[in-house]
């Protein structure tokens, strides 16, 4: 298993380009199931989760391949197996995103029910209730969700009890070729949802209201072939900015979208970081020790839960005490014990972490437990004097494209040890 070794302590500087967003690309790939022709994607990140979604679509019979220009092409016309097996779903919960489009297209779908994961129970009950409201029958047998809608899905008015990102995306895709109008209320407003709606419109869908909490989808007869572009990864962007900040450096992320990171930018400005935003760039300079700032994670446009661990890493060496409240996932504090191994002073009370800033972190062997927790350990390692060894880095590979290469470009002393995984470069599933 790969390890990452970091010799920290040096300020990072320079610029690095954002990759395409994993959480935008995953539903966009699933949307190809709806299209009556090939769909081409630009800016798909080369990540383990993307490879899992490609494998899933190929399993269903689709033609899936990256060309020489890193453009991904998916043709689901030959697909004839509307299933997502346990072997794939257990490695990536977002596999459930194929449920809505498969059911809409085939009138039946079988998807293994995702279990809990490191950050919480994460049920998909709201996805299923929404599909039932659209006329589907849902059974659970042998760990699989079996959904049927032999006469097609029907438009419905769906009110989510809680904001759900992939739930909104799943039902939006299901509604695109359903009969009649679907209204999604208390819908997720995340930029990834807007990217999906924009892309589906490019392919001929009739959707409005995305970016607000009410999305209206009027069913159309079919969705055509087309070209799609994945938006920049806001979480990756903020992680590289945080790498500059935690080392007292000067880092610019290019090819990104500052408007998607307003809550993060506001909080780091409160902490004393000098932030300059251009049209598609963000530059952060940390010229003095950070001040402690409190955060509450919230659905977009609130502070993203996917940046909670990285922000906590920043607060470990800030002046004063920071209160970090996680309101989205009940168990997303696995990084706390690992950060403590590096000298952080953090106590937990339910969904709240109290972080007392210490003057410096110290290097230690630590273990990655989930994707964003791993990112916080990389940040801590970059700041700590000495050599930090992070094991189980496959978690990082799920969401950060060439992380050590990008950090090296900023001057970090970071390397990966052992079994290099080449599972993505040049992969073809034809
Ligand atoms: N929830 C339910 N029932 C449902 C759906 C969600 O109770 O049917 C609960 C969840 O357990 C959670 C809350 O609602 O407590 C919000 O979950 P949501 O459905 O929004 O999460 P998700 O769609 O499964 C996506 C991202 C996550 C990100 C969350 C929140 C993708 C592929 N994943 O997950 O990304 O943390 O939204 O913003 O888009 C990551 O990239 O590291 C990651 C975990």
- Are the CB atoms for 256 and 237 separated by under 8 Å? yes
- Average pLDDT for 397-413: 96
Q: Over pLDDT 90: what percentage of the chain?
A: 90
- Average pLDDT for 241-251: 98
Cα torsion 182, 194, 77, 429: sign: negative
> Is any atom of ligand 1 closer than 6 Å to the C-beta of 305?
yes
- Average pLDDT for 193-211: 98
Nearest ligand 1 atom to alpha carbon 299 = 38
* Residue ID of nearest Cα to ligand 1 atom 18: 164
DSSP string, 132-156: HHTT-EEEEETTEEEEE-TT--B--
Report d(CA 357, CA 344) in Å as an integer: 7
Highest mean pLDDT among 182-196, 327-341, 383-397: 182-196
- Average pLDDT for 274-293: 98
Q: Which DSSP symbol is given to 5?
A: E
**Quick one: pLDDT at residue 206?**
98
**Quick one: pLDDT at residue 316?**
98
Domains of the chain: 3-19+232-417 (3.65.10.10), 22-229 (3.65.10.10)
| Confidence tier at 270 by pLDDT (50, 70, 90) | very high
**Quick one: pLDDT at residue 330?**
82
Report d(CA 352, CA 362) in Å as an integer: 24
Residue showing tokens 């993060």: 264
| Confidence tier at 122 by pLDDT (50, 70, 90) | confident
Listed residue (171, 178, 221) closest to 197, CA to CA? 171
Ligand 1 centroid vs 248 CA: distance in angstroms?
32
**Quick one: pLDDT at residue 422?**
47
Asked if the model's pLDDT at residue 155 lies above 80, the reply is yes
Listed residue (194, 202, 195, 192) closest to 226, CA to CA? 202
Asked if the model's pLDDT at residue 420 lies above 80, the reply is no
134-154 per-position pLDDT tens digit = 999 999 999 899 999 999 999
Q: Which DSSP symbol is given to 201?
A: H
> Is any atom of ligand 1 closer than 6 Å to the C-beta of 60?
no
* Residue ID of nearest Cα to ligand 1 atom 16: 164
| Confidence tier at 427 by pLDDT (50, 70, 90) | very low
304-350 per-position pLDDT tens digit = 999 999 999 999 999 999 999 999 998 899 999 999 999 999 999 99
Averaged confidence pLDDT in the chain: 94
Listed residue (260, 253, 302) closest to 24, CA to CA? 260
**Quick one: pLDDT at residue 419?**
59
* Residue ID of nearest Cα to ligand 1 atom 9: 122
> Is any atom of ligand 1 closer than 6 Å to the C-beta of 109?
no
Strands 206-208 and 214-218: antiparallel
* Residue ID of nearest Cα to ligand 1 atom 36: 306
Widest CA span in the chain = 64
Q: Which helix (H) or strand (E) holds 404?
A: helix 403-409
**Quick one: pLDDT at residue 116?**
66
Report d(CA 318, CA 291) in Å as an integer: 5
**Quick one: pLDDT at residue 68?**
81
Q: Best mutation site among 95, 114, 162 for ligand 1, i.e. most ligand atoms within 8 A of its Cβ? A: 162
Ligand 1 centroid vs 45 CA: distance in angstroms?
20
23-49 per-position pLDDT tens digit = 999 999 999 999 999 999 999 999 999
Q: Which DSSP symbol is given to 232?
A: B
**Quick one: pLDDT at residue 230?**
98
């Amino acid at each position: 298993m790969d390890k990452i070794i970091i010799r920290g302590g040096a300020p990072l500087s320079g610029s690095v380009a954002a990759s395409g967003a994993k959480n935008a690309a995953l539903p966009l790939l699933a949307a190809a199931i709806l299209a009556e022709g090939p769909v081409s994607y630009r800016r798909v990140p080369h990540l383990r989760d993307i490879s899992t979604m490609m494998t899933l679509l190929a399993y269903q019979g689709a033609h899936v391949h990256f060309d020489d220009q890193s453009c991904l092409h998916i043709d689901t016309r030959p697909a004839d197996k509307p299933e997502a097996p346990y072997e794939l779903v257990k490695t990536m919960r977002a596999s459930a995103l194929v449920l809505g489009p498969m059911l809409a297209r085939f009138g039946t779908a079988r998807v293994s029910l995702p279990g809990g994961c490191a950050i919480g129970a994460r049920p998909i009950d709201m996805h299923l209730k929404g599909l039932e409201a659209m006329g589907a029958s849902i059974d659970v047998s042998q760990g699989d969700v079996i959904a049927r809608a032999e006469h097609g899905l029907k438009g419905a008015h769906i009110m989510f009890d809680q904001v759900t990102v992939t739930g909104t995306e799943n039902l939006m895709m299901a509604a695109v070729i359903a009969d009649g109008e679907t209204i999604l209320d208390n819908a997720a407003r995340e930029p990834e949802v807007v990217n999906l709606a924009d892309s589906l419109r490019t392919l001929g869908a009739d959707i409005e209201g995305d970016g607000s909490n009410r999305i209206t989808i009027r069913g159309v007869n079919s969705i055509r072939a087309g070209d799609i572009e994945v938006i920049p990864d806001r979480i990756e962007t903020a992680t590289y900015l945080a790498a500059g900040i935690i080392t007292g450096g000067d880092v610019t992320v290019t090819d990104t979208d500052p408007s998607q990171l307003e809550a993060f930018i506001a909080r780091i400005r409160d902490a004393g970081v000098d932030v300059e935003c251009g049209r598609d760039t963000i530059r952060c300079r940390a010229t003095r020790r950070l001040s402690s700032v409190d955060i509450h994670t919230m659905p977009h446009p609130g502070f993203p839960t996917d940046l909670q661990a990285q922000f906590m890493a920043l607060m470990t060496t800030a002046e004063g005490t920071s209160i970090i409240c996680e309101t989205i996932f009940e168990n997303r504090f696995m990084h706390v014990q690992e950060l403590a191994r590096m000298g952080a002073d953090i106590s937990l009370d339910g969904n709240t972490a109290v972080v007392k800033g210490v003057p410096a972190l110290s290097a230690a062997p630590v273990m990655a437990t989930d994707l964003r927790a791993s990112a916080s350990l990389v940040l801590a390692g970059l700041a700590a004097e000495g050599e930090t060894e992070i094991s189980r880095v496959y978690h990082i590979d799920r969401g950060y494209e060439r992380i050590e290469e990008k950090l090296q470009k900023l001057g970090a002393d970071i390397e990966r040890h052992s079994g290099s995984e080449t599972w993505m470069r040049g992969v073809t599933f034809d």
